[in-house]
Amino acid sequence: MHLVDAAEWSRRRDEAYRRFLEDIEVGYVDRDVVELIRLVFSKKRIFTTSSCSGRITIVDAAYPWLRDEAYVLFKKHEPVDPSEIEPIIASRPIHRYWLVVSGPIIHFILASLEDVQKLFTALRESGFKHSGVISITSAGVVVEAVSGVWTPFLLKDGDHTTVVSLQHVVGIANSILAEGKNRLGRLLKAFKELEI
């Protein structure tokens, strides 16, 4: 049984690599994840389409997991200072202001289930415990690598400020961001050993 069409997979890999090189040229790529993407593309039987090294966002949404019904007011892939956020949350939200810290997320596309198992081992050892296959088609098996390092903080609900100290929350958020980047570093190391 051939799960994946090798020619189609290969074509998509080439496309993804070309897009990555273009994104670097334009300056689109999230700096902290470039080294890992380069390493992934140095392997023969795997590639990646989208990736994020981890970030802090401020969103206006009823719930912190929403995407379509949410407004992203601030986004940064590095530690944040309270003074960067204060002016944003001084206004009244439509729904609620959440500060959301996300760990790294990477999508890998592979051509065989044996390689998926190898990747799973590397991911779990690096702290990406919430990873899983999210799609299986003739174009490839898609693995979403997620660390579980994801924490929202409710800052404001209508006119009602919900946190006692923004500075305190931002301090914890920055330490969570650092924990995510740390796992990305461990994944980079694991990839150096990975034969795939």
The footprint of a second copy (CB under 8 A) covers 1, 3, 63-65, 113, 116-117, 120, 131-136, 144, 148-154, 157, 160-165, 168-169, 172, 176, 179
Cβ proximity to a second copy: between 34 and 154 the closer is: 154
Cβ proximity to a second copy: between 20 and 70 the closer is: 70
Rounded to a whole number of angstroms, the minimum distance from the CB of residue 182 to a second copy is 12
User: Which amino acid makes up residue 1?
Assistant: M
Residue of 58, 135, 63 whose CA lies nearest to 102? 58
Cβ proximity to a second copy: between 21 and 178 the closer is: 178
Q: At what angle do helices 6-26 and 34-41 cross, to 10 degrees?
A: 150
Rounded to a whole number of angstroms, the minimum distance from the CB of residue 183 to a second copy is 11
Rounded to a whole number of angstroms, the minimum distance from the CB of residue 46 to a second copy is 17
Q: What is d(CA 36, CA 189) in angstroms, rounded to the nearest whole number?
A: 9
Torsion angle in degrees (nearest 10) through CA of 122, 123, 124, 126? 90
